[in-house]
């Protein structure tokens, strides 16, 4: 390895300068560092909202690198071809990146690593997106965990290394390779008029994520146990969009929570457990990649789910089912790019159980609309809700979206925030929905609020009959 040849750091879903082992290794070598982001097929294949949000994140990272005298080189095309071209242009002999675990990234990274190694390049992947590598968490029999509770018991006491510090300078190469312009990539194109509506709800970048973590640990986490299920409360971290893009690392969250837990906060421990759910989702997708595309429990393949875009599905997507909890949640999604966890469970249950519609339709809609879209958590969440996943809610447990409202939104604050129809003085956020949706939906706050397309009780009966007919 030449002493002065540059090191390429390939950024993907790790858009930060602190606790970044790959970048830290490059910086510590003292050699010039060429940070790069590649718009490859995986980026082009993202849904509208995650692609737009990624574009914001990449722009922000570029600014952070410039602030420490470095740069982010932007290139589009096949990842291996681009990396080889950059190696040729810069004389780099090392490429470092943070490991990814979803099937498409795993395949790409394997191919890139073996081709680079064959070409004599030192290609290394580092831990960064997770705390526990999926292959290091094993049951007593040597297999992987399919149920969360034993997974949690196995990882909760593990030693998670302290996060690495912030990088404050990087040696620049003698000459910077050419870069493309982020604006030319059009990553936000599919958001159309929705972008202006969602933008104020975005928490962009590493500093904002760190501020939120500090605020959450200081002011919110102690009540996390009681408030995290109430969608009208600011009761959770709301860090999923930052975790999804690596603007904050899981171990930064873990250690902040652990310090609070050691001061006696029970809520902080529950928060750590949720971070472990994220790890579990990656554990599952790494060991069984088919969770992203096929019923994890194969017996569900014979279930006659609706797989078509019919009027019920359209009503679900548009937040016009006439079931208030579902509609409020679907509109929250459209306006903020996020949805409260309790609400995600309700809308997923309503789609897959009351409407007997395939979870893949919901998964794909979330994939298009969520700014915190995460391939592992989304797949696990949908299969959990449908009953087809490994550690899933039992298929015969059908959430009642009406009684759930009485339990989790007693004052109806959540539904009044998001539903405008039938109200003389709608909430400003409820009106934003009509500025975000495509004009072709032709909806107005002056419309009547719809009657339920399928009531809570009738849908439950229908679902239970369908399950009985399949004799699971």
Binding mask 296-335 for ligand FAD (x = CB under 6 A): ----------------------------------------
Angle formed by the axes of helices 359-369 and 375-386, nearest 10°: 150
Does 291 contact ligand FAD by CB under 6 A?
no
Does 373 contact ligand FAD by CB under 6 A?
yes
Residue among 34, 112, 164, 243 that touches ligand FAD (CB under 6 A): 243
| C-beta separation of 399 from 349 below 8 A | yes
Choice between 145 and 366, CB closer to ligand FAD: 366
d(CA 384, CA 26) in angstroms, rounded, equals: 40
Which tokens hold the place of 227?
Answer: 């408030």
How far apart, in Å, are the Cα atoms of 169 and each of 14, 57, 165, 394, 422? 18, 20, 12, 52, 56
Does 374 contact ligand FAD by CB under 6 A?
yes
Residue 292, exposed/middle/buried by CB under 10 A (0-12, 13-18, 19+)?
Answer: buried
74: phi then psi, degrees, rounded to nearest 5: -110, 130
Stretch that binds ligand FAD, among 37-45, 176-184, 374-382, 396-404 (CB under 6 A): 374-382
The minimum distance between CB 361 and ligand FAD, in angstroms, equals: 12
Q: Cα torsion for 138, 143, 146, 149, to the nearest 10°?
A: -30
Does 404 contact ligand FAD by CB under 6 A?
no
| C-beta separation of 131 from 251 below 8 A | yes
Residue among 370, 419, 437, 453 that touches ligand FAD (CB under 6 A): 370
Residue among 13, 344, 360, 460 that touches ligand FAD (CB under 6 A): 344
Strand order in the sheet with 94-98: 73-76, 33-39, 7-11, 94-98, 122-126
d(CA 254, CA 257) in angstroms, rounded, equals: 5
Radius of gyration of the chain (CA): 23
d(CA 432, CA 472) in angstroms, rounded, equals: 44
- Residue 205, CA atoms < 13 Å, CB-side half-sphere: 11
The minimum distance between CB 27 and ligand FAD, in angstroms, equals: 27
Binding mask 209-238 for ligand FAD (x = CB under 6 A): -------------------x-------xxx
Residue among 58, 281, 315, 430 that touches ligand FAD (CB under 6 A): 281
The minimum distance between CB 463 and ligand FAD, in angstroms, equals: 17
Binding mask 36-55 for ligand FAD (x = CB under 6 A): --------------------
**Which residues fall within 8 angstroms of residue 138, CB to CB, at 6 or more apart?**
144
Binding mask 347-366 for ligand FAD (x = CB under 6 A): -x-----------------x
Residue among 249, 385, 388, 400 that touches ligand FAD (CB under 6 A): 385
**Which residues fall within 8 angstroms of residue 203, CB to CB, at 6 or more apart?**
209, 212, 238, 239, 241, 242
Cα 275 vs. chain centroid, distance in angstroms? 12
Residue among 102, 327, 372, 391 that touches ligand FAD (CB under 6 A): 372
The minimum distance between CB 366 and ligand FAD, in angstroms, equals: 6
Does 382 contact ligand FAD by CB under 6 A?
yes
- 251-280 positions binding ligand FAD, by CB under 6 A: 274-275, 277-278
Residues that bind ligand FAD (CB under 6 A): 228, 236-240, 243-244, 274-275, 277-278, 281, 341, 344-345, 348, 366, 370, 372-374, 377-378, 380-382, 385
């Amino acid at each position: 390895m030449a002493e002065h040849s540059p090191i390429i750091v390939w950024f993907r879903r790790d858009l930060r300068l602190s606790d970044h082992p790959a970048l830290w290794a490059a910086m510590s070598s003292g050699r010039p560092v060429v940070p790069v982001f590649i718009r490859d097929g995986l980026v082009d294949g993202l849904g509208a909202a995650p692609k737009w949000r990624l574009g914001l994140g990449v722009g922000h990272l570029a600014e952070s690198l410039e602030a420490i005298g470095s740069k982010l080189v932007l290139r589009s095309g096949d990842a291996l071809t681009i990396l080889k071209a950059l190696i040729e242009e810069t004389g780099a002999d090392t490429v470092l990146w943070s490991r990814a675990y979803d099937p498409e990234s795993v395949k790409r990274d394997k191919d890139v690593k073996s081709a680079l190694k064959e070409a004599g390049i030192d290609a290394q992947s580092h831990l960064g997106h997770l705390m526990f590598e999926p292959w290091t968490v094993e049951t007593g029999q040597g297999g992987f965990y399919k149920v969360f509770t034993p997974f949690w018991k196995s990882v909760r006491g593990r030693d998670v290394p302290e996060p690495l510090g912030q990088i404050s300078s990087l040696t620049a190469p003698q000459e910077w390779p050419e870069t493309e312009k982020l604006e030319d990539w059009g990553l936000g194109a599919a958001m159309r008029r929705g972008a202006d509506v969602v933008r104020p709800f975005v928490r962009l970048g590493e500093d904002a994520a760190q501020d939120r973590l500090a605020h959450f640990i200081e002011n919110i986490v102690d009540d996390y146990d009681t408030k995290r299920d109430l969608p009208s409360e600011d009761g959770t971290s709301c860090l999923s969009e930052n975790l999804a893009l690596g603007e904050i690392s899981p171990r930064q969250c873990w250690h902040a929570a652990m310090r609070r837990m050691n001061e006696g906060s029970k809520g902080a421990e529950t928060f750590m457990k949720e971070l472990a759910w994220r790890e579990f989702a990656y554990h599952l997708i790494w060991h069984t990649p088919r969770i992203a595309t096929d019923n994890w429990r194969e017996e569900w393949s014979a279930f006659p789910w609706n797989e078509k875009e019919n009027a019920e599905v359209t009503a679900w997507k548009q937040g016009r089912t006439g079931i208030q909890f579902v509609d409020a949640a679907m509109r929250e999604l459209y306006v903020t790019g996020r949805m409260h966890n309790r609400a995600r469970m309700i809308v997923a249950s309503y789609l897959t159980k009351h409407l007997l519609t395939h979870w893949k339709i919901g998964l794909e809609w979330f994939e298009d609309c969520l700014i915190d879209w995460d391939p592992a958590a989304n797949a696990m969440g949908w299969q959990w809700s449908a009953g087809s996943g490994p550690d899933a809610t039992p298929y015969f447990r059908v959430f009642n979206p009406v009684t759930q409202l009485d339990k989790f939104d007693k004052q109806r604050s959540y539904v009044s925030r998001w539903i405008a129809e039938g109200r003389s003085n709608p909430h400003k956020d409820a009106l934003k929905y009509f500025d975000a949706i495509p004009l072709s939906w032709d909806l107005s706050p002056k419309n009547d609020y719809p009657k339920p397309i399928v009531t809570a009780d009738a849908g439950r009966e229908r679902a239970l009959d369908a399950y009985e007919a399949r004799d699971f």
